[in-house]
Chains A and B, each alone.
Chain A
Amino acid sequence: MDPLTSFFIALVAYVVLVLGVGLMATRRAGSSSEEYFLAGRGLGTLVLFMALFGTNCTAFVLVGIPGQAYHDGLGVFSINAPIIALGIPLTFWAIGSPARRLARELGAMTPAELYSRRFGSRAVGVVMFAFFTIYTLPYMVTAIRGAAVTLTVVTEGQIPEWIGGAAVLVIALVYTSLGGMRATAWTNVLQGAIFLGFMVAAFFVFANGVGGDDGIAGAMRAVRDHDPELLGVQETGLYTPAAWTSWSLAISLTVVAFPHMLVRLMAADSDRTLKNICRLYPVALIALWAPAVMVGVFGAVAFPGLEGKESDRIFSMMVTEYLPPALSALGFLAVLAAVMSTLDAQILTLGSMLSRDILRPSEDPKGDVRRGRAFGVVIAVAVFVLWRVGGQSIFSLASVSFSGYVTLTPVLFLGLRWRRFNAAGALTSILGANAVYFLALESAGGLGGAMSPAWFGFLPVMWGFLAGCAGAVLGTYLSGDRGEAGAAASGT
């Protein structure tokens, strides 16, 4: 069977499966807004873990990380994987766990709604919604472009980019609208299993391909002989002490501030479930990140000479070179699965925030669900239009977004852990953090400077975060409000 036919068969099977899972979740999804948006706050360990992991890991890990490792070597693993394996679980404890409990007490179903009720301030909810949306839309556009390009390349142009992107959006929208949070969580189990399983298996196949009969040992020696620097850490760019420290802060804090991650934490059935997830998370991160980086490092031996962004093709080049047609089809499906497992959560979360944070929650239990579905369509259309007319600037914004979420973390944390913290402090923190963050970005070279040093060698994200902490404290104390009204309302 030729590769193209294999891919189409695998693609059809995958689409049928995810739509089938969405249909299975439909029966319960429409019964109430809590069921639709939060799966009845009843997600257990396995489903929630895969939902979080699938949402957290985008196609960037499968495609962008190998591309980066092609040039930078093992340093890409060193600067990312260890610190997120510790940082993400700790943020689940520091923010996710109290957010889940408080959301249940207050009946909140979105992150912005949770903090709006905590502070007794609609303004806080609206401002949080605005920043969540500003930072999430470019992310979605980038993901759609990645999926569309993958489909076009694999089908040798038979699926044009705009049709591929539209199809991915429509499929994600259909199963998300059918089954809400439960459908996205269940499909994430399937999607996560596809891309995690594929990467682990591909690592061994690629090692054998590059290393010959000696397998991993042979591949490592081949890398050493080709360019020993790939087995170490560079000393420039992101790998200088100040930039490394800033990036460690960014990558470990940002994930919990993705609204589509935080809302999933709010859907956990218990603290015990969250604890189980924290124990599993480091293992799964190693299983995904180590192969992703090694694909790029082995790729540098197998396909030397790629320049700049050309190395983003190394994943597909390795897949095509070393895997039989059936398995290479699975490789490209893995990319699609990683895109869709994040995209569905984003559509659902932004739809729920539009429904409940901008409009007021409906009296009719099913009214919010109808509005959430309608807003999901609006968001999908907006993403498609931004992608087609937004130009290159939209893609630059994606790296701005990744760090930008960190500017919200002082409020996310202090809002749950500091009784006196009040609405004035929250607003000062968010607005101040973002003002400083964008000033630092300007200093680092504009929208493309999110990963370039700003002042004193630190990345813009570090300055935004510090400004957010200072704004929270200053705003709270200077306002004179002791935060008792909000704290009493929330029980903190």
Chain B
Amino acid sequence: MGPPLDWLDPAAKNGAPMSKRMNNTIAWTGAAALLALHLDFWRDRGTALLMGWLPQELAWRAGWMLLSTLYLVWFCRSVWVEED
């Protein structure tokens, strides 16, 4: 099994690291997409309870936070270059 989140890195399947440029493009695009999903005035912010207990609003934010956590994990691995 490869390192986590290899599915974000097409070139990793061939054992070659994805280029820095492509990583940067994905990083900017990902951040912009997350920001757009956070500024979600277009969405119906309903008050329903999903499965009888989970507020729809909380579910949406929790999903967003899961996405942003995955993004950060990928970001730390692929974009953030350690210089120590």
Contacts and interface: CB of A to CB of B under 8 A. Distances in A.
A481 interface: no
Contacts of A44: none
B61 A81 contact: yes
Contacts of B23: none
B1 interface: no
A290 B62 CA distance: 10
Contacts of B57: 74-75, 78, 231-233
A279 B76 contact: yes
B40 to A, nearest CB: 9
A245 B39 contact: yes
A83 interface: yes
Contacts of A101: 83-84
Nearest to A218: B53
Nearest to A75: B57
A86 B61 contact: no
Nearest to B71: A86
A81 to B, nearest CB: 7
B39 A244 contact: yes
Nearest to A97: B80
Contacts of B76: 93, 275, 278-279
Contacts of A221: 49, 52-53
A241 interface: yes
B34 A86 contact: yes
B12 to A, nearest CB: 19
B65 A82 contact: yes
B83 A82 contact: no
A85 B84 contact: no
Given A93-B75, A275-B82, A74 B55 contact: yes
B46 interface: yes
Interface in A241-275: 241, 244-245, 248, 270-272, 275
A85 B41 CA distance: 20
B73 interface: yes
B52 to A, nearest CB: 6
Interface string A281-302: 0110010001000000000000
A83 B41 CA distance: 15
B20 interface: no
Contact of A229 (B47, B61, B80, B84): B47
Contacts of A278: 72, 75-76, 80
B73 A279 contact: yes
B81 to A, nearest CB: 8
Interface in B54-74: 54-58, 61-62, 64-65, 68-69, 71-73
Contact of B64 (A82, A231, A290): A82
Contacts of A224: 47, 49
A93 B74 CA distance: 13
Nearest to B45: A233
B13 interface: no
Interface string A321-357: 0000000000000000000000000000000000000
Contacts of A232: 45-47, 55, 57
Contacts of A216: 53
A282 B47 contact: no
A74 B56 CA distance: 10
Contacts of B61: 77-78, 81-82
**Chain A CB within 10 A, most for which of B48, B57, B73:** B57
Contacts of A78: 57, 61
B53 A231 contact: no
A334 B18 CA distance: 46
Interface string A364-390: 000000000000000000000000000
Nearest to B70: A282
A486 to B, nearest CB: 20
A278 B47 CA distance: 32
B31 A90 contact: yes
Interface string A199-233: 00000000000000000110011001000110111
Nearest to B34: A86
A282 B38 contact: no
Given A82-B38, A97-B80, A271-B83, A220 B55 contact: yes
Interface string A98-111: 00010000000000
A290 B45 CA distance: 18
A93 B41 CA distance: 29
23 contacts: A75-B57, A78-B57, A78-B61, A82-B61, A82-B65, A85-B69, A93-B76, A97-B80, A101-B83, A216-B53, A217-B52, A220-B49, A221-B53, A232-B45, A233-B45, A233-B57, A245-B39, A271-B80, A278-B72, A279-B69, A282-B72, A283-B69, A286-B65
Given A279-B72, A282-B72, 7 more contacts: A217-B52, A233-B57, A270-B82, A271-B80, A271-B83, A279-B76, A286-B62
Q: Pick the 9 closest A-B CB pairs, nearest first.
A: A217-B53, A232-B47, A231-B47, A271-B82, A86-B68, A231-B55, A275-B76, A228-B47, A233-B45
